[in-house]
Structure 1
């Protein structure tokens, strides 16, 4: 068609050298090269068609003028019309996709949900119809109902099994109401995290006025969590000390998630109990600065919110201890655990120290060693 060799090589490079990679939890996997070349649906496909069609149309027009071919004018006009229609279809399709993409990614939902919706809207979910079209399987019928072909709309909406799921989501309003109440309860607890310590009397929680070393034979374990919204990391810190204030063990760990403060504190409380059992501490005083967590763990009432499984897990784990108690302290008196948690959230690291003081809290621990015993 008269294209320069370099231009042809450039286009063929775009077609044959493309690589794909799959994002898994935000991490790009190993790139792979498609073996079947360009296919319908690739972004470059409609533009290559328009480009070649326009060049072919121009060549036919030149041949008609030079008398090389005849009686092709009508066919040329028909081809031009086809190309124009193709252009008009590509432009609004591209615009609609851009608008849909923007609308989806502005939704306040987790990224996996956005990706699922995008794939569903573009009909690229691994339904049996799509797998059959790609010759991965030999039967495209829905494996659940075996009534019709499994398309995206059938799998999500019209399959009897899918209808049962949707009906189950609305047939139990009491369950939905309980979940909603739990979320509101979590929000209220977070608002009350700085509640005055004088209100603890009704919950039978002991509130010391300053950090003190535990009695001889008892291990005191401080724990705290910190959330870094800029990095998206959650850090947790656990510190165990004896009756002389000597550090017996410390642990910091990070999670790449953003959750509410109450759930984060429950998670680190659970890690504190697990850490104590792993190291071999069986008479432990647990101290944390989250009032709502201490109150919930000490309460004998069932916790029906979405974080209830953490509390039930803690209560089951402490049964393996000889003695234990959960005590609330202020943030200032839990500074060592808080500083360790902040360092984990900032640097995304998992570390364990046994009878060695982490550098980031060395000054705090040595100062606490001079605090009188309780």
Structure 2
């Protein structure tokens, strides 16, 4: 962070200023000069990362500012924890930018963006899990798992991303008003192209699970606010995720599900664990009432309100 603020990290513009014979344009977008602020904040190739953070709208207003000015603005406007997140994200973006430029494997920048997005997701989850475990008695009830109303079922879904193996997965669990598991799965899915698409697919696979175990009157919950927004309003996105969101929206309406809602990340520990369980299995996993395993009982019981 100190080097970035002093504008001495080895961006192409800085290397060019030291008479190293390179073009100086960004190797990701091939359009703008690769300054520090461009590489870490404003390049179109990393736009999707910042869009899913609280910093996006602030950064948009300071496109012509230096990285130092942007960092000082973020430090002034946000609290210490949020500023630390900003710093970590800058590091992760710079790491993946350098790997993209120099690594022999030549992985796509979309893969790099997904890695940073998943890295951000894991930071949020780890931080929230720690806060909830240490301060459970002081935590708002909005950050605790709540059973559905009687005669309704609750479906929690989540997507996972293994950065080392470039694999995506989804996890889902259906529970009733007593917290009893009615069905669950952990699936490896084909690379959908982005973490957001994986979160939308997690909702779709969750609906498939409900149909498979033959349950209705289900309330669906996802911790991806953007995935929920697109599924409820698929016309908002005319890109590739819009078509996927429209398909999931049609499934939701045709099967008369009750609702799709966003939930706090800390509430979704069971679906999160299921999604990551898929990475360690040689095949997709499905549990129904008659074959719930002890380890699944264990994490479900930890999730229940006291």
In 2, Cα distance between the equivalents of 1:211 and 1:286? 13
Q: CA deviation at 1:255?
A: 2.7
Aligned twin of 1:274: 208
Render the CA deviation track for 1:107-162: whole Å, top value 9, x for unaligned. x9xxxxxxxxxxxxxxxxxxxxxxxxxxxxxxxxxxxxxxxxxxxxxxxxxxxxxx
TM-score, normalised by the number of residues in structure 2: 0.52
* RMSD across aligned positions (CA): 3.1
- Equivalences for residues 81-230 of structure 1 within 5 A: 186-187=48-49, 189-191=51-53, 208-230=142-164
Say whether the 8 Å CA contact 2:269–2:303 is kept in structure 1. Answer: no
Q: CA deviation at 1:256?
A: 5.0
Aligned twin of 1:368: 303
Render the CA deviation track for 1:33-67: whole Å, top value 9, x for unaligned. xxxxxxxxxxxxxxxxxxxxxxxxxxxxxxxxxxx
Of 165, 173, 177, the residue aligned with 1:231 is 165
User: CA 1:239–1:304 in structure 2 vs 1: closer, same or farther (change >3 Å)?
Assistant: same
Verify: 1:308 aligned to 2:242, yes or no.
yes
Tell me the SS of whatever aligns to 1:236: strand
TM-score, normalised by the number of residues in structure 1: 0.43
Q: CA deviation at 1:302?
A: 3.6
Aligned twin of 2:275: 341
Q: CA deviation at 1:234?
A: 1.3
Larger radius of gyration: 1
In 2, Cα distance between the equivalents of 1:301 and 1:308? 7
In 2, Cα distance between the equivalents of 1:233 and 1:358? 25
Tell me the SS of whatever aligns to 2:191: coil
Tell me the SS of whatever aligns to 1:307: helix
Q: CA deviation at 1:261?
A: 1.1
User: CA 1:183–1:302 in structure 2 vs 1: closer, same or farther (change >3 Å)?
Assistant: farther
In 1, Cα distance between the equivalents of 2:180 and 2:259? 20
Say whether the 8 Å CA contact 1:190–1:262 is kept in structure 2. Answer: no
Aligned residue pairs, count:
182
In 2, Cα distance between the equivalents of 1:316 and 1:186? 26
In 2, Cα distance between the equivalents of 1:350 and 1:241? 20
Q: CA deviation at 1:300?
A: 6.3
In 2, Cα distance between the equivalents of 1:186 and 1:302? 16
Say whether the 8 Å CA contact 2:232–2:249 is kept in structure 1. Answer: no
